[in-house]
């Protein structure tokens, strides 16, 4: 889809998607890195919200509210909800959590929409590795009401195995029955950027493509 190609270009231009020689927190060497902390301007968050909204709108059937887990999910869910209304005239409730519940003022752990029994939720996140935020979010939401968490939106699926030969996306599906919809996968990135110039530079040449394919061969989930 066009928005996916535009999103990949946007990540490169924003310095979020970079290529080289990196080491992840798990100790793995990787030829590319996604650092969503490099989104830092009003233009970035506006465009990011629109890209998320383009993906979200195709999977909103029977979804009653959007939820953004602290911390990175907070600006994402707000930007996505705003873009859904601005771009598609879709008015949907949203909420996000505090790391620590308040016992004064409005109190509680959630800010925004208050989930109701029978609601279906969609989680808005950036990228997932161990799936920790999702594993924390599901019991939090279910503790508020009899909520069904149906889906998860992330920016990039690295399609890599975790500790048990399953990716974080597969683990979340196995444990919670949550379907993950990435804006793009690493395969989309390779296909779109191979031998293509961004700002006058080819970021995935033959050498980088081979390095990324070798990385997937070693750590990929075979999809």
Query: Would you state the pLDDT for residue 180?
Result: 96
What residues are labeled active site? Answer: 102, 104
Q: Give which of 184, 205, 187, 186 is closest to 195, Cα–Cα.
A: 205
Q: What is the pLDDT at residue 43?
A: 97
- From CA 12, how far away is CA 32, in angstroms rounded? 11
Q: What is the SS3 string spanning 189-216?
A: HHHHHECCEECCEECECHHHHHHHHHHH
Indicate the burial class of 197 (C-beta count within 10 angstroms; 0-12, 13-18, 19 or more). Answer: exposed
The residues, any chain, with a CB within 8 Å of residue 69's CB and separated by 6 or more, are 96, 97, 123, 125, 133, 134, 136, 137
d(CA 90, CA 77): 14
Contact assessment for residue 181 and residue 59, using Cβ atoms and an 8 Å cutoff: yes
- Residue 6's pLDDT band (cuts 50, 70, 90): very high
Q: Residues of the chain with pLDDT > 70: what percent?
A: 94
Distance CA(7)–CA(102), nearest Å, equals 37
Mean pLDDT along residues 102-130: 83
Q: Residue 108's pLDDT is what?
A: 61
Coil/strand/helix, residue 67: strand
Q: Which helix (H) or strand (E) holds 13?
A: helix 2-13
Q: Where are the domains of the chain?
A: 2-219
Peptide bond into 82 cis (omega under 30): no
Residue 102 pLDDT: 55
Neighbours of 143 (CB within 10 A): 10
Measured distance CA(12)–CA(199) in Å, rounded: 9
Q: Which helix (H) or strand (E) holds 71?
A: none
Distance of CA 171 to the CA centre of its chain: 15
Assigned fold of 2-219 = Rossmann fold (3.40.50)
Give the pLDDT score at 109: 86
Angle at 124 between CA 9 and CA 84, to 5 degrees: 75
Average pLDDT over residues 115-120: 98
Segment 179-198 shows an average pLDDT of 97
- Do 158 and 180 contact (CB within 8 A), yes or no? no
């Amino acid at each position: 889809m066009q928005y996916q190609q535009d999103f990949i270009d946007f990540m490169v231009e924003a310095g979020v998607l970079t290529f080289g020689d990196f080491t992840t927190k798990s100790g793995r060497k990787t030829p590319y890195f996604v650092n969503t902390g490099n989104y830092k301007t009003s233009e970035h968050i506006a465009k990011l919200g629109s890209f998320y909204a383009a993906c979200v709108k195709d999977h909103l059937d029977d979804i009653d509210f959007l939820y953004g887990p602290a911390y990175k999910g907070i600006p994402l869910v707000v930007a996505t909800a705003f873009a859904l209304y601005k771009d598609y005239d879709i008015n949907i409730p949203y909420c996000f959590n505090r790391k620590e519940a308040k016992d004064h003022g409005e109190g509680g752990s959630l800010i925004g929409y208050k989930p109701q029994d029978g609601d279906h939720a969609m989680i808005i996140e950036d990228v997932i590795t161990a799936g920790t935020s999702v594993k924390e979010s599901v019991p939090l939401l279910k503790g508020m009401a009899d909520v069904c968490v149906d889906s998860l939106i992330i920016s990039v699926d690295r399609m890599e195995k975790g500790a048990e030969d399953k990716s974080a996306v597969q683990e979340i599906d196995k444990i919670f029955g949550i379907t993950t919809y990435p804006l793009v996968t690493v395969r989309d990135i390779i296909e779109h950027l191979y031998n293509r110039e961004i700002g006058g530079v080819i970021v995935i040449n033959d050498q980088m493509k081979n390095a990324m394919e070798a990385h997937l061969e070693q750590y990929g989930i075979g999809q």
